[in-house]
Amino acid sequence: MRILVSGGSGFIGSFLCEKLLSEGHQVVCLDNLFTGNKENIEHLKDNPNFSFVSHDIIEPFYIEDKIDQIYNLACPASPIHYQKNPVRTIKANTIGVINMLGLARAHQASILQASTSEVYGDPEVSPQSENYRGAVNTIGPRACYDEGKRCAETLFFDYRRMHGMDIKVIRIFNTYGPKMALNDGRVMSNFIVQALKGEDITIYGDGSQTRSFCYVGDLVDGMIKMMNSDLTGPVNLGNPNEITIKTLAQRIIEKLNSKSKLIFMNLPEDDPKQRCPDISLAKSKLNWEPKVSLDEGLNYISDFFRQKLENEK
């Protein structure tokens, strides 16, 4: 099949491109490199089944060669990036999504939207299941992303109702692994980089808030299973093993034998107190659940960041 991955040079997108190529597909990677990194796909450029197109999905995109599937991942995904230009973030999730849906319709392609657990906001129930409608602040600093992704889901389902399109919607929970950016502001990368440097580890709030971390390889497997299923979604993809932020920091310090100390700062506005997926639907309908343990995944990502920091010296 010929598959287009928008946001394909990003952290998750580049892993997805690799996996699809390993399965024998032709892959078109579409990215404006706003948060993506060409280094993530450098090793793929000599593969005859791979092509890179520099393009922002906010602008219309046309391609003549038949496209069978589209994975839409194009959107800044960490607060430090999506809050840098909130209007552009909203545009990516509205105008950009409309452009990708239009492309899929023109090619009669299946299309998957990488939505997010952020659609649940600061949840009042835990774990979060797909039928939970969320508690989102529509005017807060995170709304450009939270509400943008919610609107993207609405667009997907309206296109399906209006045009009978084959759509898929997944809600991605916290994901980590090699190729994460050093400065993306995500908790996992922040903690590991600070621990490797021996700097104080910054915890926002008292550290009692929870997250659940899914290794990127497991997530990509779930994405592909979803695309090739009969499901429409939304379907949660994430690791259901919940951990407090403070415990995560302590585990990283111990694993890396770091001398870092914990320091505490004010919790940002609308930062979720709990984040844990109910993956019953993914387990029963996709036969999917994460396989990589947190300890195993921490080994992979720590080695990656250690090498990256060495290269920057």
What is the rounded distance in angstroms from the CA atom of residue 9 to the CA atom of residue 45? 12
Burial class of residue 255 in the structure, from the number of CB atoms within 10 Å of its CB (0-12 exposed, 13-18 middle, 19+ buried): middle
What is the rounded distance in angstroms from the CA atom of residue 214 to the CA atom of residue 178? 12
Going by C-alpha positions, the residue among 157, 135, 156, 155 that lies closest to residue 146 is 135
CB-CB contact of 288 with 237 (8 Å): yes
What is the rounded distance in angstroms from the CA atom of residue 206 to the CA atom of residue 195? 19
DSSP character at residue 121: B
DSSP conformation letters of 82-105: HTTSHHHHHHHHTHHHHHHHHHHH
DSSP character at residue 262: E
Q: Which of 145, 159, 176, 215 is catalytic?
A: 145
Three-state DSSP state, 163: helix
Paired tokens of 110: 């299946």
3-state SS string for 16-66: HHHHHHHCCCEEEEEECCCCCCHHHHHHHCCCCCEEEEECCCCCCCCCCCC
Known active-site residue 159: no
Give the DSSP H/E element, type plus range, for residue 71. Answer: strand 69-72
Q: Is the peptide bond before 268 cis (omega within 30 degrees of 0)?
A: no
The CA radius of gyration of the chain, in Å to the nearest whole number, is 19
CA angle 198, 202, 207 (to 5 degrees): 125
Tokens 């695309």 — which residue? Answer: 227
Please identify every residue annotated as catalytic: 145
